[in-house]
């Protein structure tokens, strides 16, 4: 299959997925409670992953995820079908994570990169290292204004425009933050270049 055909197929699959979301929302708003359960089942893993990567802590993923879907349940009749459901869902998820960080006053855990890029912990080499865990920890060292757009782009595959809509900022700002996030990760992961083939 050519690259052009693969892109067309991916686009078609994405469109079908969006259409399925719209259908489930319409059915739920018409009184079909089962459609909401299908919507949750379809998107719960991505929501949980976003929460975990945003907070860097699995302890509160279930609580916040439940809070997200309770909020969706009560707000679904306000969805206007002017954007993808996932864009709307992820915006709510990001806001719930921010609420959590504010309430728990844990924003300080996101140490600015410039204060730690020369720390001893970034230079430790470990044999048999768990690469996914290493990258996850590196991402969690980023400030959330860099981390969230990076995850939405590189992990969840959102376009720059979709990310800008979710974060209520300009496309240029999104591109700049993602570029800075990637450059920051290179610095953090520099001691592991050989293992990561960077």
Read off the pLDDT of residues 124-133 as tens digits, 9 standing for 90 and up. Answer: 333 455 556 6
User: What rounded mean pLDDT belongs to the chain?
Assistant: 76
- What pLDDT band is residue 192 in, cutting at 50, 70 and 90? low
Cβ-based neighbours of 181, under 8 Å, separated by 6 or more: 142, 146, 147, 149, 150
- Would you say the C-alpha torsion 181, 153, 160, 140 has a positive or negative sign? negative
pLDDT of amino acid 54: 77
Cα-only R_g, the chain: 19
What is the crossing angle of helices 144-154 and 171-188, to 10°? 100
Write down the domain spans for the chain. Answer: 3-104, 111-196
Question: Backbone phi, then psi, for 155, in 5-degree steps?
Answer: -100, -45
**Digit-coded pLDDT (tens) for 30-68:** 999 899 999 999 999 889 888 887 777 777 888 899 999
At the topology level of CATH, where does 111-196 sit? Arc Repressor Mutant, subunit A (1.10.10)
Mean pLDDT of 65-92: 89
CATH class of 3-104: mainly alpha
Which one-letter DSSP state was computed for residue 126?
-
- Does this model's pTM top 0.85? My answer is no
- Of 164 and 14, the structure prediction assigns the larger pLDDT to 164
Q: From the CB of residue 48, how many other CB atoms can be counted at a distance below 10 Å?
A: 17
């Amino acid at each position: 299959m050519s690259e052009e055909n693969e892109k067309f197929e991916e686009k078609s699959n994405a469109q079908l997925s969006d259409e399925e979301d719209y259908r489930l929302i319409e059915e739920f708003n018409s009184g079909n409670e089962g459609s909401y359960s299908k919507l949750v089942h379809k998107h719960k893993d991505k929501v949980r992953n976003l929460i975990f990567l945003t907070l860097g802590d699995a302890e509160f993923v279930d609580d916040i995820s439940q809070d997200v879907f309770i909020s969706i349940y009560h707000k679904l009749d306000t969805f206007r079908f002017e954007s993808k459901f996932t864009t709307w869902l992820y915006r709510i998820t990001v806001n719930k994570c921010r609420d959590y960080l504010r309430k728990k006053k844990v924003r300080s855990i996101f140490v600015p990169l410039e204060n730690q890029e020369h720390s001893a912990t970034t230079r430790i080499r470990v044999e048999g290292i768990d690469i996914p865990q290493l990258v996850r920890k590196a991402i969690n060292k980023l400030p959330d204004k860099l981390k969230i757009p990076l995850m939405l782009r590189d992990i969840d595959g959102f376009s720059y425009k979709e990310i800008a809509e979710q974060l209520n900022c300009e496309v240029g700002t999104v591109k700049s933050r993602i570029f800075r996030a990637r450059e920051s990760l290179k610095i953090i992961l520099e001691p592991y270049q050989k293992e990561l083939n960077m």
